[in-house]
Structure 1
Amino acid sequence: MELVLLGTGAADGWPNPFCTCASCSLAAERGEIRGQTAALVDDVLLLDCGPEAPRAALRAGRTLAGVRHILLTHAHPDHVGPAALLFRSWAGRPEPLDVVGPPEALELCRDWVGPDDLVRFVPVAAGETVRVGGYTVRVRAAAHWAVRPGEVPGDGDAVLYDLTGPDRRRLLWATDTGPLPDVTLAAVAGAEYDAVFLEETFGAKTDHGADHLDLASFPRALAALREADAITDRTDVVAVHLGHHNPPLPELAERLGHWGARVLDDGAVLEIGPGPDRSAVAPVSAPSRTLVLGGARAGKSTYAEGVLAAEPRVLYLATGVVDDGDADWARRVAAHRARRPAGWHTVETTDVAAALRAAREPVLFDCVGTWLAGRIDHHKAWDSGDFADVEADVADLFAAWRGAPVRVVAVSNEVGSGVVPATASGRRFRDLLGRVNAALAAESETVVLVTAGLPAALRGTTPGQRAR
């Protein structure tokens, strides 16, 4: 099965032609112009057909003369451009054409068909299966609303398409939707898709409602699909329907790469099935070690959590236990707990080495500084001045980190750039933590420094960057 991405942008594309935000300005400067999301499969089937799709096909070097099937997901104008049917009529195409979609979308198209055109309208709803040509189309529920002609916005009239081709390759076309409904996750369980095209409209904007995905909900949707065995390590995951609330493309590609997903340009051609596309993104669950450094309140913990956000299950090693006498620290711990996904298991411990050795699922270790302070306190090294037991714990941590059998992300404070501590104990702690950070970094495939919420790779090439 061959798929041409005619567009990968949101309704207003990316950049928005009326916008001068940093994301839009940088995209325009780089010539990264994205049109409304649509795709052409095997030159015979269109997945959505907004007003930009016909011209996008020509720019991609394709003709639509062979199209026999159009699958419309919903009635929003970036997905239904009914004038395409008129253009086809003017060209005098004599072949039959199937137009499949929710009734509201089909209603927008009926008046654009000539009286002698062999167009068959096929209304569908979630849960149904239809055959068009050699393709099996399973209709899945979306969490999205569309406008019914002459009515107010309503729910339940947008769908997703689970498409199997004549070669038995299978893909999920999941645009537009919010967090996937339970009925959809149940329906796609065990699908083991060859490719998934999943919308990621709103990027860093999370106050948009619940009928689209963003950089917080997108990885959770991937985790749910992985948990259902709909996405495997062999599935090519592509983010589509991208809007200008996303960070600039290099940063977005890096974020998506952590989750086993990628972003492609308009006009990209994919061979769905075994091939180079399948290996472009490394399996997210492969054993690896990532060290995330940063100053106080730099966003390092949020970044580290994001790295593992698409994992269905994560062991969260929290080394900063709650002190009932410190209200501010208790609030910080509570905030960390609240933003962890439901599938993450939290263990509050300073015995990190043992936990790493026993881990059977990805681990987030947050943070090294509080772990080190806890081990110093545990051995009463400040009172005795004897740090031999602390050094033994450090050596044990290095050994466990080096041999970690799962994907591990650790967070630590970068203490070498601040004010020199005024006390001897402060200077000793700074020096010791600096040595610990350096040793962990030496045994890490990826090292990232977070400053003012922005990550900079000190070592390692992320999967997302390789895909570019």
Structure 2
Amino acid sequence: MEVLLLGTGAADGWPNPFCTCPSCADAAARGEIRGQTAALVDDVLLLDCGPEAPRAALRHGRTLAGVRHVLLTHSHPDHLGPQALLFRSWAATDSEIEVIGPVDALDQCRDWIAPTDPVRFVPVAAGDVLTVGEYRVRVLPAAHRVLADGDSVLYDVQGPGGDRMLWACDTGPLPVEWFDRVAGAEYDAVFLEETFGDRMDLGCAHHTLPAFGETVRILRACGAVTERTDVVAVHLGHHNPPLEQLRIRLAACGARAGDDGEVTTVGSATGKVAAAQRTLVLGGVRSGKSRHAEELLESFPAVTYVATGGTRDGDAEWAERVALHRARRPQSWTTVETDDVAAVLRGADEPLLIDCLGTWLTARLDRHDVWSGGDVTAVEADVEQLLEAWRSCAVPVVAVSNEVGSGVVPATASGRLFRDLLGRLNARVAAESESVTLVVAGIPTRLR
């Protein structure tokens, strides 16, 4: 199945057009404007159809002329824009369309069609199993309601090739017995709503970030999610942290944030998201790169800060730099001073911040006495070990490094050697990272 995400935002989208919170401001500055969540499957099946969905399809280069089935989860207005049926009647078409959903959602559609319109309504409730064109659809209960219990549902959709996906939008945390319904499903993709972010005071009709992680954990435990399942967070809103932080948080549970307009081939997205998100933050001296890296991880309760520079006896200026860095980090963070970064990466069980690769490289050059004419082969072996550990790290990790390729050519041979080695190291770490950011004058620019 080909799934086009027409939108990945909450009811108010993201950013909320009336809001200036840091999360909305960040999204607006990036130009990442998310519309209401909906999806188009194989150009024939529409998953939810809020008022923004038809126009979103056109913006993403698709037509809805081939849609023959609409699966509605519930009648909240961001999921149901019944006027789309009227617009369809204005086009020259005589093909029938099925509108499938809870009874009250279908009732809101009836006034938008003429008696002769080729529209067939199929009311469903949790527990139903039906054939929808070439698809097998199971209707599952949702922990969500419009006016009464049971008026919101989720969909388990199996394609003609056997590929299978779960459309779980909207729902809050689900009861333990719910997972018996999907045990052993081994979904190829799961689209799971995550609306409330870190807001714990908004009720249980939607997932918070911690609740999302717990739902994914149980889905894994019951065999609904496997290592090859693409777990995609949708229905995202501004109660979440800014997007880069959110991506790292989601990666910690093996999930990723969906993007408006992205196309996923369900059944071929094996290993699409790693168990942990690797992020490289580059920048010049005093560019704000370390502060930005700290901000990316600030919403985690515990982080290990890996200081690769160590201590320098008798260097008061260096001691002041270290003290300033420590003062702005949360007290819950743990500091480890070492240049054996590969060992820390291999043994980590909580998120890591490595600051920085430039001082790590300097320490390895010192250790192998390269400045006095030693062979760089040993340093290159250290780089290989670092990269191997970076690739296999099982927790979110952010590394800071100096961007050294934009200045003048160093006047000394040792300066040129260091610049060349660090430039190559940065490039190789970037190639193994899901996210790369360049910070200039305190302003982060996302490169990947």
Shorter-chain TM-score range: 0.5 to 0.7
Tell whether 2:296 aligns with 1:302.
no
Equivalent residue, structure 2, for 1:127: 127
Question: In the TM superposition, what is the alpha-carbon distance from 1:246 to its structure 2 partner?
Answer: 1.2
1:167-316 equivalence runs, <5 A: 167-274=161-268, 277-283=269-275, 302-304=301-303
Give SS of 1:137's match. Answer: strand
Deviations 1:351-382 (A, max 9, x none): xxxxxxxxxxxxxxx9788xx9xxxxxxxxxx
Question: Identity across aligned pairs (percent)?
Answer: 56
Question: In the TM superposition, what is the alpha-carbon distance from 1:301 to its structure 2 partner?
Answer: 6.7
Q: In 2, distance between residues paired with 1:301 and 1:83? A: 43
Q: In 1, distance between residues paired with 2:259 and 2:300? A: 31
**Which stretch shows the higher mean deviation, 159-168 or 19-28?**
19-28
Q: In 2, distance between residues paired with 1:238 and 1:168? A: 20
Question: In the TM superposition, what is the alpha-carbon distance from 1:19 to its structure 2 partner?
Answer: 1.0
Aligned CA distance change for structure 1 residues 91 and 411 (closer, same or farther; 3 Å): closer
Give SS of 1:302's match. Answer: coil
Q: Which runs of 5+ in 2 are unaligned?
A: 278-292, 305-331, 356-384, 402-428, 437-446
Tell me if the contact between 1:134 and 1:166 (Cα under 8 Å) persists in the aligned partners: yes
Q: Which runs of 5+ in 1 are unaligned?
A: 147-152, 286-293, 306-335, 337-365, 373-393, 415-440, 449-454
Q: In 2, distance between residues paired with 1:204 and 1:212? A: 12
Q: In 2, distance between residues paired with 1:400 and 1:29? A: 38
Matched to 1:155, the amino acid is D
Give SS of 2:435's match. Answer: helix
Question: In the TM superposition, what is the alpha-carbon distance from 1:248 to its structure 2 partner?
Answer: 1.5
Aligned CA distance change for structure 1 residues 268 and 398 (closer, same or farther; 3 Å): closer
Q: In 1, distance between residues paired with 2:97 and 2:300? A: 52
Aligned CA distance change for structure 1 residues 110 and 211 (closer, same or farther; 3 Å): same
Q: In 2, distance between residues paired with 1:18 and 1:398? A: 45
Q: Return the TM-score normalized by structure 1.
A: 0.64
Matched to 2:349, the amino acid is V
Aligned CA distance change for structure 1 residues 87 and 304 (closer, same or farther; 3 Å): same
Equivalent residue, structure 2, for 1:58: 58
Question: In the TM superposition, what is the alpha-carbon distance from 1:118 to its structure 2 partner?
Answer: 1.9
Aligned CA distance change for structure 1 residues 409 and 45 (closer, same or farther; 3 Å): same
Matched to 2:162, the amino acid is R
1:139-178 equivalence runs, <5 A: 139-146=139-146, 153-178=147-172
Give SS of 2:184's match. Answer: coil
Tell me if the contact between 1:201 and 1:213 (Cα under 8 Å) persists in the aligned partners: yes
Give SS of 1:84's match. Answer: helix
Equivalent residue, structure 1, for 2:374: none
Q: Return the TM-score normalized by structure 2.
A: 0.67
Tell me if the contact between 1:447 and 1:457 (Cα under 8 Å) persists in the aligned partners: no
Tell whether 2:435 aligns with 1:465.
yes
Equivalent residue, structure 1, for 2:419: none
Q: In 1, distance between residues paired with 2:203 and 2:37? A: 20
Question: In the TM superposition, what is the alpha-carbon distance from 1:409 to its structure 2 partner?
Answer: 3.0
Equivalent residue, structure 2, for 1:429: none
Aligned CA distance change for structure 1 residues 194 and 106 (closer, same or farther; 3 Å): same
Tell me if the contact between 1:172 and 1:196 (Cα under 8 Å) persists in the aligned partners: yes
Aligned CA distance change for structure 1 residues 89 and 206 (closer, same or farther; 3 Å): same
Q: In 2, distance between residues paired with 1:398 and 1:64? A: 52
